[in-house]
Amino acid sequence: MNVSPSDRSAHWIRRTARVAFVSAYLVVLAGSIVRMTGSGMGCPDWPQCFGLTIPPTHEAQVRWQPEAEYGAGRMILEHDSLWTAPADHLSGTSFDADRSSGLWQHYTRHDYAHFNPFHTWVEFINRLLGAFAGLPALLLVALTALLGFRHGQWRPLLPALGALLALGFVAWLGKKVVDGNLIPGSITLHMMGALAILGLQLAVLKASGAAAPRLHSSSKTWIAIAVLITVAQLVFGTQVREAVDHLVHEGVARSEWLERLPDWWKGHRTAFWAVLAVHGAWLWPGIKSGRPTPWEWAVIGLLAAQFITGLAFGMLGMPAAAQPIHLILAVGLVLTDGWLLGAKPLR
């Protein structure tokens, strides 16, 4: 069988889109682990970490040393504060003398002044994955543009370009989050930006000719409603997470989180039944047949796993390991629903 040049180009676009999607999903997973471990400020600056390209691994690297060379932007911890070097210099015999000479300036963008090597490297790996995710996203724009110029097929370009722009926005927002010491609200925006990247990369797959899934249900209305309700529930969940972060900042023990959370968080727990009901509305034909499709089984599995991790939050005091799993499952459910909007009914 002869394959046309446009089909070959579309094939490579689909392969690249899958790589870009997996890369972005790994960033979401890494970000959830950052939140789980409280490592969001492990690197107090951006894009470097304590002013270094390779993060520090031990405390001596972030403490002032006599007669040592420091580059512009280098950061140290002294007197329970964070300091930055405005220019390259060779340190003298005491930190206080260097500070009086203007060789060190007090860092004022936030008041976070701690060093934990584990937190530092968790955050750095998260950033590294984010940077690598940009490579297939950039290549995807180039390939879709070539498809348009050479074969007049422009549909995949717009979502590919949107995904790249969303990736840039998320990176910029990451800098603002660090500069503001995890300012409230930006965490939710960060999550929604990541969701937009993943959704747009799936749109590239569809636009470049990926095979449509098949379902027992031919109604797209319930699936569309499921997407909207699940996204709203995901946003609600990030707000609960930000409330938890506030408790962590106050030094509240994990065992007391549920008691100290504002009462509105229970709405997130209750709203799961709405998510379950609206999914049941379009899953019912497959369940009734006794032979759900693999895609329908996938959604059923995601819903069951969401229920189990949510139950673990309430019964086991919000265990840390359940947090990234719960988030990744929620994102997976939204994306699966979105992908199934293009499904074809089984005959």
Q: Write out pLDDT tens, residues 80-127.
A: 899 999 999 999 999 999 999 999 999 988 878 889 999 999 999 999
Assign a CATH topology to domain 212-347: Four Helix Bundle (Hemerythrin (Met), subunit A) (1.20.120)
The tokens describing 202, both together, are: 């799936």
Distance CA 168, CA 51 (A): 22
Count CB neighbours of 210 within 10 A. Answer: 17
Mean pLDDT over all residues of the chain?
Answer: 88
User: Angle at the Cα of 209 (from 205 to 214), degrees rounded to 5?
Assistant: 85
Task: Look at 189 and 65; give whichever has higher pLDDT.
Answer: 65
Distance CA 15, CA 28 (A): 20
Terminal Cα-to-Cα distance of the chain (whole angstroms): 28
DSSP H helices, the chain, are 5-37, 95-100, 117-151, 157-179, 186-207, 221-249, 257-260, 265-289, 294-316, 322-340
| Range of lowest pLDDT (50-59, 243-252, 298-307) | 243-252
- Is the model's pLDDT at 342 over the cut of 70? yes
Mean pLDDT along residues 239-255: 80
Q: What is the pTM of this model?
A: 0.86
- Is the model's pLDDT at 256 over the cut of 70? yes
Q: Taking a C-beta distance cutoff of 8 angstroms, is the pair 342, 220 a contact?
A: no
Torsion sign across C-alpha atoms 336, 338, 342, 347:
positive
Count CB neighbours of 54 within 10 A. Answer: 9
**CATH for the 59-106 domain, from 2.10.10.90, 3.40.50.2300, 3.40.640.10, 3.30.1390.10:** 2.10.10.90
**Residue 327 burial (10 A CB sphere; 0-12, 13-18, 19+):** buried
Distance CA 262, CA 159 (A): 39
Q: Write out pLDDT tens, residues 126-183.
A: 999 999 999 999 999 999 999 999 888 899 999 999 999 999 988 888 777 777 655 6
| Range of lowest pLDDT (36-50, 72-86, 292-306, 307-321) | 307-321
Distance CA 109, CA 107 (A): 6
* 3 state SS of 153: coil
Please, which pLDDT band fits residue 259 given cuts at 50, 70 and 90? confident
pLDDT recorded at residue 333: 95
Please, which pLDDT band fits residue 3 given cuts at 50, 70 and 90? low
- Is the model's pLDDT at 273 over the cut of 90? yes
pLDDT recorded at residue 96: 92
Please, which pLDDT band fits residue 56 given cuts at 50, 70 and 90? very high
Distance CA 49, CA 45 (A): 6
Task: Read off φ and ψ for residue 70, nearest 5 degrees.
Answer: -125, 135
Q: Taking a C-beta distance cutoff of 8 angstroms, is the pair 140, 20 a contact?
A: yes
Q: How far is CA 243 from CA 184, 193, 240, 257, 312, in A?
A: 9, 20, 5, 9, 18
pLDDT recorded at residue 183: 60
Distance CA 230, CA 180 (A): 29
Residues with Cβ within 8 Å of residue 208, at least 6 apart in sequence: 10, 13, 14, 17, 144, 147, 155, 156
Query: What's the half-sphere exposure (Cβ side, CA atoms, 13 Å) at 14?
Result: 13
pLDDT recorded at residue 320: 77
Task: Read off φ and ψ for residue 144, nearest 5 degrees.
Answer: -70, -35
Going by C-alpha positions, the residue among 186, 180, 146, 140 that lies closest to residue 163 is: 140
pLDDT recorded at residue 185: 65
Q: Write out pLDDT tens, residues 183-229.
A: 666 678 888 888 999 999 999 999 998 888 888 877 889 999 999 99
Pairing state between β 105-106 and 214-215? unpaired
Q: Write out pLDDT tens, residues 15-55.
A: 999 999 999 999 988 888 887 787 888 999 988 999 999 99
